[in-house]
Amino acid sequence: MIQTTVFQLDEYGPWTVTPSPRAEMDLQVLQSRLYADIAAFVGEREGYAFYTRGDNIIGITNGLDSADHERLQASLRNRYPVSVSVGIGSGETPRTAVAAASAELRTAGSAQDETRTDVCRGDTLDKTGTVHVGHFDIESATERFTDRLGAFETYTAIHRWYGTLARHLYQEYDALSFFVGGDNVVAICPDLDEQAYRDVITHVTEIDGIPFRVGVGTGRTAHKAGMAAKHALERGRERNRSVVMTEPTQTANL
Amino acid sequence: MIQTTVFQLDEYGPWTVTPSPRAEMDLQVLQSRLYADIAAFVGEREGYAFYTRGDNIIGITNGLDSADHERLQASLRNRYPVSVSVGIGSGETPRTAVAAASAELRTAGSAQDETRTDVCRGDTLDKTGTVHVGHFDIESATERFTDRLGAFETYTAIHRWYGTLARHLYQEYDALSFFVGGDNVVAICPDLDEQAYRDVITHVTEIDGIPFRVGVGTGRTAHKAGMAAKHALERGRERNRSVVMTEPTQTANL
Amino acid sequence: MIQTTVFQLDEYGPWTVTPSPRAEMDLQVLQSRLYADIAAFVGEREGYAFYTRGDNIIGITNGLDSADHERLQASLRNRYPVSVSVGIGSGETPRTAVAAASAELRTAGSAQDETRTDVCRGDTLDKTGTVHVGHFDIESATERFTDRLGAFETYTAIHRWYGTLARHLYQEYDALSFFVGGDNVVAICPDLDEQAYRDVITHVTEIDGIPFRVGVGTGRTAHKAGMAAKHALERGRERNRSVVMTEPTQTANL
Amino acid sequence: MIQTTVFQLDEYGPWTVTPSPRAEMDLQVLQSRLYADIAAFVGEREGYAFYTRGDNIIGITNGLDSADHERLQASLRNRYPVSVSVGIGSGETPRTAVAAASAELRTAGSAQDETRTDVCRGDTLDKTGTVHVGHFDIESATERFTDRLGAFETYTAIHRWYGTLARHLYQEYDALSFFVGGDNVVAICPDLDEQAYRDVITHVTEIDGIPFRVGVGTGRTAHKAGMAAKHALERGRERNRSVVMTEPTQTANL
């Protein structure tokens, strides 16, 4: 079972243009810092949080209970000009979990409903779940892109590759993939075997023509699974292998 | 003429895994805050900066001279565990400008070259240039997506729409488009007329089926052009028009 | 029993002038943000942290174990150009606790010892302790100072009052007092009765001539005790009483 | 002539207890970050800003005009739950300048006046002024205090020394002194000669018994004067001299 959280800024769209449009860089600074605070809080509890749309942030929150979420919410309310509503949901797959979390928020009201502020809804897992992380990156991305193409072309090429990868993983495997900077994608996955990851790489490479690798890790929290995945990816780079799975025994006492 | 800057973290990829992989949320917090500092600095001087890949940040920097860039660089070096190299480039279109900025960095060395740190290369514009901004957003995005679909599906749908829009604007018009959160895209454009924007909307809507609007503004800096574009977009929402151009006279004394 | 932590930047003095003196505002921004990160981390776990000298930060850390401290340390190391050593110490009084925490650091080496970096020493409390907080503020400070004197004179007057109060509470009662902005002082105290607080106010008012109040709270953590103290102080303002103690029963289920 | 700015949070005291007292660490994080943003903004324009009371921040702002102040104000309003009023004042001495800045704020209304928000009052200097900075630190502070006494005793000893030094410099020389962390004090001074600094050291050492040094610098901005002072202090450490003045010619082309 995986637990996810959707952090949704309350009435944020209207706020950005009231009484008149606010400076774009002020909004970018606000969004980045608010995200950083959520990422730090969730990260310290071994969860993950991803920026996605900035006004909707998706967290993998196994290990965080409702009191943790409410503490974060109260702290943000004390330090920002906007408030944040929280929907928590769990499921057998990352896809069903985030759907449940999203449904909690929708049940509470519209994202632009003036009366829906600072909501915290949904149940957290009683037991420890299990998180599977696939950490993907592009082979020789610096030589292939950064040192060869312009900064914008590199960005759009990697962005396109990420989009193809994310949609495929979501539609075929119920996984949630997030671009985390550079040429790195972190996917929160169900329990997939090595062949599934090989199939993903084959399928996506056929579409975009970009060779890439994945390291896979498993753990009781996103952090533990993610660290195992990073180590696996390092081994893949060293040994020139496109898929490296962490052995369950290696993660047992993480 | 438009002036752009590429901010590139030096040897960042290797740093993230030395001596062993660093916690993902620490990296996300670091990247978000470093971006926020660049966005604040550039924004206070009426420029724009966009996160893109996090380790490569693209700025629209009309009005910032080399001393400004070096001051920012020195300040980041004093406050972060990583350093930033800077390439500045100008051009007739946003596309050629960012290509020139990228070329300055490449000439200085690879992004993973140990001896290339803290470089600041490229010439700034002597004269004030002109910036054109198209601010796009989706019609009724909250009702259409946020309040109806799950948070991840909304994200990927908007992400896909942004990708289509960005590639089309780049390939056909030499424009640089950036997702700025929610359902908003800011495009730095050449001087395009209303029909061009109509064509863009028609073309992209045919592909992705998502109706959207644009407000267009012009100014001596990204901030001035962007604020005019935001006001134009507001008028488009009120009057239900898909393209609103700001009259040049309206921006004259901004 | 109270648990305290001293966070000490490693070799910070030499770093600020190597290879040549760094810009003062860069240092101030660095110190403020690093402190804010420590305060947020400790605060989310119901502890308190106080800026004091900026390169030495004192925490009241009942409820935080060694793993928490090490997680914070690792996170700071990943995001700042400086590292932080940690000494943890407990005692019957705040004074003896911070002395023990400081001794742990000194045993590990000098603050400017090149080989002493990232140390984490000292034992955390097995059991929940009890924290007593006295929250002091000046009667009618805005009318008396802010709206009457210049900003610097107000600052030095309040600073002097704080110094007198802090030294008296430390020497006579083993309490640790910290200025927390405006005209507010938070003191971490042993278990003192109402008469002791009355004596403190009488003594300090005789020296500096500034009338002030205190609200006193008790709890298992600094946060719980501090919130009770704040509520008590509010009651003191409403009822014009200079000392308000929270009844133990009122804090029982905080 | 020196130009100073008082940044005063509007109605901050009442806000911190409305509707009920807010968590102390949330307030500390808010205050530290807001200060850091002001320090970064002012610092990038070669000014200085000092935390002092947190809700009242004093800046040395030679080189910043009204538009700069208003830009900072607007940016803070977009990113924080509190707003900031600004008083700007100039004078022949730092003391008269900050008195003038404070008077501008008081004329606009009380710090707790509900109708006084986001004020920006006062005139900026037309011409470049001259700033004199004395950078003080304690001889062998690490050996004398940090490595010998506990963290709290060290803090209060240095705090007391700073208080004595600041009051003496203010009363006798119209200088504004600020504790900037560690054992460092930055004083914004009139044009004093070497003998005056020697007298200050003699006087304060007699009271507190702590030996200390000063480096003095002059420049058109606080940053330029402060950097010259830091370099002078370094020379004083190397040559074991208690007062080192930077020769005017040395700062001419800074």
Predicted pLDDT of residue A194: 97
- The mean pLDDT value of chain B amounts to 93
Predicted pLDDT of residue A253: 42
Prediction pTM value? 0.94
Beta bridge partners of B217: B133
pLDDT digits (tens, 9 = 90+) for A120-143: 999 999 877 899 999 999 998 888
**Which residue does chain C place closest to B17, by CA atoms?**
C78
Structure-block tokens of residue B89: 């480039």
Would you say D51 and D57 are in contact if contact means Cβ atoms under 8 Å apart?
yes
pLDDT digits (tens, 9 = 90+) for A47-80: 999 999 999 999 999 999 999 999 999 999 999 9
End-to-end CA distance of chain B: 19
CB contact under 8 Å between A24 and B49, yes or no, is: no
* Residue of D25, D55, D140, D153 to mutate, testing the C interface (most C Cβ within 10 Å of its Cβ): D25
**Which residue does chain C place closest to D47, by CA atoms?**
C25
Q: How far apart are CA D71 and CA D84, in angstroms?
A: 12
For the beta sheet containing D212-219, the strands, ordered from the edge strand earlier in sequence to the opposite edge, are D176-179, D184-189, D131-138, D212-219, D243-245
Tell me: pLDDT of A254 over 70: no
Tell me: pLDDT of A45 over 90: yes
* Residue of C26, C32, C173 to mutate, testing the D interface (most D Cβ within 10 Å of its Cβ): C32
CB contact under 8 Å between B24 and A111, yes or no, is: no
CB contact under 8 Å between B40 and D75, yes or no, is: yes
Burial of residue D249 (number of CB atoms within 10 Å: 0-12, 13-18, 19+):
exposed
* Residue of B65, B68, B71, B80 to mutate, testing the D interface (most D Cβ within 10 Å of its Cβ): B71
Q: Which chains are adjacent to chain D, needing at least 3 Cβ pairs under 8 Å?
A: A, B, C
* Residue of B78, B80, B82, B83 to mutate, testing the C interface (most C Cβ within 10 Å of its Cβ): B78
Predicted pLDDT of residue D127: 77
Q: In which residue ranges of chain C is pLDDT below 50?
A: 249-254
Predicted pLDDT of residue D251: 45
Predicted pLDDT of residue D163: 97
pLDDT digits (tens, 9 = 90+) for D203-242: 999 999 999 999 999 999 999 999 999 999 999 999 999 9
D250: pLDDT confidence band, cut at 50, 70 and 90? very low
Lowest mean pLDDT among A208-222, B114-128, C214-228: B114-128
Tell me: pLDDT of B155 over 60: yes
Predicted pLDDT of residue B248: 57
A26 — contact with chain D (CB < 8 Å)? yes
**Which residue does chain C place closest to B34, by CA atoms?**
C79
Q: A156: closest CA among A197, A210, A114?
A: A210
CB contact under 8 Å between D41 and B44, yes or no, is: yes
Predicted pLDDT of residue A231: 97
Least Cα separation, residue D65 to chain B (angstroms): 13
Mean pLDDT of B23-37: 98
CB contacts of C44 in chain A (<8 Å) are: 41, 44, 71-72, 75
- The mean pLDDT value of chain D amounts to 93
HEC profile for B181-202? CCCEEEEEECCCCHHHHHHHHH
pLDDT digits (tens, 9 = 90+) for B188-233: 999 999 999 999 999 999 999 999 999 999 999 999 999 999 999 9
B238 — contact with chain A (CB < 8 Å)? no
Mean pLDDT of B151-176: 97
**Which residue does chain B place closest to D69, by CA atoms?**
B44
ipTM summary value:
0.95
Predicted pLDDT of residue B253: 42
CA distances from D187 to B10, B72, C158, D178 (A): 37, 26, 19, 6
Least Cα separation, residue D158 to chain C (angstroms): 9
Q: A28: closest CA among B247, C19, B194, B47?
A: B47
Cis-peptide, bond into residue D19, ω within 30° of zero: yes
Least Cα separation, residue C224 to chain D (angstroms): 9
Predicted pLDDT of residue D128: 73
A247: pLDDT confidence band, cut at 50, 70 and 90? low
Predicted pLDDT of residue D129: 85
Q: How far apart are CA D50 and CA D177, in angstroms?
A: 10
Q: How far apart are CA C179 and CA C192, in angstroms?
A: 20
B104: pLDDT confidence band, cut at 50, 70 and 90? very high
Which residue type sits at C205?
T
- The mean pLDDT value of chain A amounts to 93
pLDDT digits (tens, 9 = 90+) for A171-198: 999 999 999 999 999 999 999 999 999 9
Predicted pLDDT of residue C82: 96
CB contacts of A231 in chain B (<8 Å) are: 20-21
A44 — contact with chain C (CB < 8 Å)? yes
Tell me: pLDDT of A248 over 90: no
HEC profile for chain C? CEEEEEEEECCHHHHHCCCCCCCHHHHHHHHHHHHHHHHHHHHHCCCEEECCCCCEEEEECCCCCHHHHHHHHHHHHHHCCCCEEEEEEEECCHHHHHHHHHHHHHHHCCCCCCCCCCCEECCCCCCCCCEEEEEEEECCHHHHHHCCCCHHHHHHHHHHHHHHHHHHHHHHHCCEEEECCCCEEEEEECCCCHHHHHHHHHHHHHHHCCCEEEEEEEECCHHHHHHHHHHHHHHHHHHCCCEEECCHHHHCCC
Predicted pLDDT of residue C252: 42
